[in-house]
Amino acid sequence: MKKSLLWIVVLLLSISMVAAFSLYGCKEEVAEGEEVAEEEVAEEEVAEVVVGEQTQVVYNSMASDPEPRRIDELTVSMFEEANPTIDVIHSIVAHEDFKQAIRAYLGASTPPDVLTWFGGNRARFFIDKGLIMDISDVWESAGWNDSMSAGFKALSSVDDKQYFLPTSYYWWAVYYNKVVFEQYGLTPPTTWDEFLAVCETLKQNGIIPITIGNKYQWTAAGWFDYLDMRINGPEFHINLMLGTEKYDDPKVKAVFEAWKVLIDNGYFEPEPTAYAWSEVLPDFISGKAGMYLMGQFIMDSIPEENQADFDFFRFPVIDPNMPIGEDAPTDGAFIAANAPHPEEAKLLLAFLGSKEVQEIGVTELGRLATNTEVDTSLFTDVQLKGMDLVNGADYVAQFYDRDTTPEMAAKGMAAFQAFWADTSEANIDALLAQLEADRALIFVPEE
């Protein structure tokens, strides 16, 4: 009993000394312009003493929809249970608000430790500014160098260092009507020549080879992505997205010339700019059109009774010497470069990328996991095929408006639509000259 009383007295004296020291530190901070109340600082410091050995990690997430929020909160609870000495300060911010606030988060003197975000240029923008931490050591210790595909590793890397954890994604591919293909004895093409032959066969039989609704421009961007990656390779494409390659390069003109063949030969839906992407689905579902380059979400808009009539294939190879790039918009997380709790942040990030957590995303949210150690029996045959498509890529791109800046994306997508209306050589040259002028203004080197 006496020992207990003595221990309490010592503890109270320690608390008093820490509180006094905190008040002094608080006064120094206020003198330098920090607007912090003395009482608040004292209370916070006392709280840290009471906690003892427990540490913290601050996690800001944009998983604000009901089900993602539930799983995000479950994940944090699991992490805290597995790491009882770490207290996660968990903040979930509305998706659009988060996108507006992230620059302020990362620019703060004490930013959140771990933040959710998008892959591609959305992350590269902050990496290039030194605001995202190099987590190559986490990739090594967590085993992601082996359990993540080459494409996802490339997506997460700059100069052979890893900065991003990809956690979930969806794929793009050429979807096709199996009934139509069977009717005309067609098989999914793997090369560009085979693809053009399929288009011509469908056209000769009164079928629209490729449907597209380009009213809102972004659907055409998918065609630019794939043609550029297949003709010039994913490295050139991503550098173009980052503003380090020029739009008036002959390599980019080659993309428009290949695209021009499809348009001029009448292989696309007539007058696509009159329709939104979903407004042309009736032609695809009924068999009036044979193919559609689109994201996985297209199947959500096809009636259940028609689902079995559709499948997809990889965008055909144009130059077999080029690495394979695939569009697979990817979400994930990173650690702020100035994270106040870097070691705890690395533990949390490793947990978010673990097989255990990603399997919860699969079973509870239907997400596609990036970790190849996830139990494949959890996936449908269609999901497995999509995962094989992406895991077999040399590079995973994000889509035009994610891989480049918003300003450049707006200019580029408007140019794609203008090209559709006029595929002449003169118009191609004029559009590329304007895009290059736009690129030079938008990607001004920082002094």
Amino acid at 333: A
Tens digit of each residue's pLDDT (9 = 90 or more) over 376-423: 899 989 889 998 999 899 998 989 988 998 899 999 999 999 999 999
Q: Is the pLDDT of residue 340 over 80?
A: yes
Q: What is the mean pLDDT of residues 162-171?
A: 94
Residue 24: per-residue pLDDT? 33
Right CATH for 172-324+405-442 from 3.40.190.10, 2.60.40.10, 1.20.1250.30, 3.40.50.1820: 3.40.190.10
Q: What distances in angstroms separate CA 425 from CA 242, 281, 430, one per listed residue? A: 26, 31, 9
What band does 446 get if pLDDT is binned at 50, 70 and 90? Answer: low
pLDDT of 300 reads: 79
Q: What is the pTM of this model?
A: 0.74
Q: What residue segments make up the domains of the chain, in order of their start?
A: 56-170+328-399, 172-324+405-442
Q: Quick one: pLDDT at residue 153? A: 93
Q: For residue range 125-135, what is the model confidence (pLDDT) as tens digits?
A: 899 999 999 99
- Do the first three CATH levels of 56-170+328-399 and 172-324+405-442 match, i.e. the same topology? yes
Query: Which residues lie across from 158 on neighbouring strands?
Result: 161
Asked whether the predicted pLDDT for residue 157 surpasses 50, the reply is yes
**Per-residue model confidence as pLDDT tens digits over 200-224:** 999 999 999 999 999 888 999 999 9
Residue 98 has pLDDT above 60, yes or no: yes
Looking at residue 365, its pLDDT comes to 84
Q: What share of the chain is helix, strand, coil (3-state, %, to 5)?
A: 55, 15, 30
State how far the alpha carbon of 374 is from the alpha carbons of 91, 349, 368, 379, 394, in Å. 27, 17, 10, 10, 21
Do 331 and 129 contact (CB within 8 A), yes or no? no
What number does CATH give the domain 56-170+328-399?
3.40.190.10
Q: For strands 310-313 and 172-177, give the pairing.
A: antiparallel
365-396 per-residue burial string, b: 16 or more CB within 10 A, e: under 16: eebbbbbbbbeeeebeeebeebbebbbebbbb
